Structure 1
């Protein structure tokens, strides 16, 4: 099967959506608990938010087919923690965001299966990501990598209380230049409809941290959205009316990247 979809754009902007996929192969799903087979921790509908904007702007878009439960494309292949000392899901996670087991007793993947998933799913996505960044940088001399994510507003395992609506992450300023971060933050803070955090609970995952090399012409930014602002978190249903102002604000942010 196709492991990912890449639309090659014409401007120096690549939108990566590593948790957009929800597909779980049958042999894996058969060993999972029923609730996990729905892949509830998917970044639901982020492609629906971003793809129309990418078409207008001429940006590249990379998205996977498989769920993060198969392998998490935004985790390092060696499995080390992104936030040491905090509870979090992993490269091939055994728990979901609710802290419950994903697999039936005795059915969790072993080390050999984890490596197969890295080879079959993780590596192809990262190869495509690196190649598209290289193409855009060669053509334009610089490129912005935009990591599009979303999450439920309340996830007690990861954080207390409600997560801010728009969470901008730049690896605490290491993955992009200070000017770009400041302009993006100013844009977010200039509006009053949504709450905002910059390098708060979500500072950027592996992709942002690994590929963001501003001194080498690659700036990387992660945006974590709270899902209730554009969908129903219980049913996973997209809400076009609620999504419109979210898309409008995202478009302003993406245009800042291109400027």
Structure 2
């Protein structure tokens, strides 16, 4: 394909000097580099177009490599290409041409306007001034979706080879209005209702946030996306936990600026990761969860 749409590398991968545990961190929705081509095709202003962005999440977890863990982050925005979707979840109404039969046009994400190429951002604001060509979708999948997932798959394989297991912490943020439902949780953990992560790990991660003073809810309203469903295979040694942090904890959601407490939250997240690392090193490749699951 000859279309050149990217003006910057699609991903950043920060590797530790010495890996200390079979843990990988991802930040798939924190990308904030909006290409000129994208901005010119959008009806939204420079703030509104960021409505679906998990702003600053990569910064909140930027200490990971210093702790001995890799951190994989998208640089492109979720509204441009959502790597937490199947590669071909597309809305036919967005395109000028007929979509191939292999495209998933009927998923709930597509119906909501939040497919691989989103139709809307935030609270339902339409993105585009025009319809797209399928060639544009192909270019975004090839230039954004594939590099991210190739890097993540390799990180998982490397951890399986080195440590015999892998825990993926898939890091996101959620709008404060959603985080106010039923008790305003600070953190929502998604393990696909127990399918992507063994109970021992799910319980430990929830308890780790709880010890640091965060209110925690599981799988409601976020149980995990494509990354959780696709990579989570607990009985083969791959645990995946989606972590959603309430944006109101650390940022002004209207202006997309960091609050003064940003560094305090990052320090708490450092403590959280240190606890997860210590547990992973204690449990080893199998951990109590496998014995528990076999009972």
On whether the aligned pair clears a TM of 0.5, the verdict is yes
Displacement of 1:254 after TM fit? 5.8
Distance 2:68 2:208 in 1: 21
- Alignment TM-score, normalising by the size of structure 1: 0.88
Q: 1:134-145 counterparts in 2 under 5 A? A: 134-145=157-168
Decide which structure has the larger Cα Rg and report it: 2
Displacement of 1:175 after TM fit? 0.6
How many matched pairs?
Answer: 253
Contact map agreement 1:229 1:246 (CA 8 A) in 2: no
The answer for the alignment partner of 1:183 in structure 2 is 204
Distance 1:33 1:155, change over 3 A: farther
The answer for the alignment partner of 2:175 in structure 1 is 152
Distance 2:58 2:173 in 1: 11
Distance 1:165 1:96, change over 3 A: same
Return 5+ residue gaps in structure 1 as ranges.
none
1:24 equivalent in alignment to 2:34: yes
The answer for the alignment partner of 1:41 in structure 2 is 52
Contact map agreement 2:60 2:265 (CA 8 A) in 1: no
Contact map agreement 2:113 2:119 (CA 8 A) in 1: no
The answer for the alignment partner of 1:211 in structure 2 is 231
Distance 1:117 1:4 in 2: 13
Contact map agreement 1:89 1:97 (CA 8 A) in 2: no
Which residue among 93, 109, 125 is the counterpart of 2:118? 93
Distance 1:145 1:116, change over 3 A: same
Alignment deviations for residues 24-78 of structure 1 (CA, whole Å, 9 cap, x no partner): 22122111013367423211111111012x1342110001111111110111113
Distance 1:246 1:199, change over 3 A: farther
Contact map agreement 1:153 1:162 (CA 8 A) in 2: no
Distance 1:163 1:110 in 2: 41
Q: 1:114-125 counterparts in 2 under 5 A? A: 114-125=137-148
1:6 equivalent in alignment to 2:26: no
The answer for the alignment partner of 1:65 in structure 2 is 75
Which residue among 231, 243, 264 is the counterpart of 1:244? 264
Distance 1:82 1:74, change over 3 A: farther
Superposed CA RMSD in Å reads 2.6
- Alignment TM-score, normalising by the size of structure 2: 0.78
Q: 1:162-241 counterparts in 2 under 5 A? A: 164-190=185-211, 193-241=213-261
Return 5+ residue gaps in structure 2 as ranges.
1-7, 90-103, 280-295
Distance 1:71 1:190, change over 3 A: same
Q: Runs in 1 of length 4+ with deviation above 6 angstroms?
A: 159-162
Distance 2:258 2:274 in 1: 22
Distance 1:218 1:258 in 2: 18
Displacement of 1:83 after TM fit? 5.0
